[in-house]
Amino acid sequence: KQEVTQIPAALSVPEGENLVLNCSFTDSAIYNLQWFRQDPGKGLTSLLLIQSSQREQTSGRLNASLDKSSGRSTLYIAASQPGDSATYLCAVTTGANSKLTFGKGITLSVRP
């Protein structure tokens, strides 16, 4: 059974800091990995989608990497801003019916 772990559960950093959010998964036979952002009381918004054949994806100040063999992904946020404060979840797609397994998320707070 696929398990996805995100540690720590919460993180607080000062504005302007570059930071890395980690995600690990137990079954390396994945189709893809997605990073999502969730604001309080809202749904999830997809930030980056990395296919199993890719090593990384970039969007603006965000860069996500994928190392399937080690079961790890990182989300790099450059020059963090208070507006980046949210919960960040990673999810992997595995199995015959392509179901997603989510981590519990990392709640990020960027202090002005």
Partner 1 sequence: NAGVTQTPKFRILKIGQSMTLQCAQDMNHNYMYWYRQDPGMGLKLIYYSVGAGITDKGEVPNGYNVSRSTTEDFPLRLELAAPSQTSVYFCASSSSGGTGELFFGEGSRLTVL
> Residue 49: which of 35, 30, 62, 68 has the closest Cα?
35
Dihedral of CA 75/91/54/46: which sign?
negative
Residue 35 half-sphere exposure, CB side, CA atoms within 13 Å? 28
Which residues form the interface with partner 1 (CB under 8 A)? 31-32, 34, 36, 41-46, 49, 51, 89, 91, 93, 97-100, 102-105
Of 53 and 69, the one with the shorter C-beta distance to partner 1 is 53
We find the least distance from the C-beta atom of residue 15 to partner 1, in angstroms, to be: 27
- To partner 1, the closest distance from the beta carbon of 93 in angstroms equals 4
When the beta carbons of 3 and 67 are compared against partner 1, the nearer one is 3
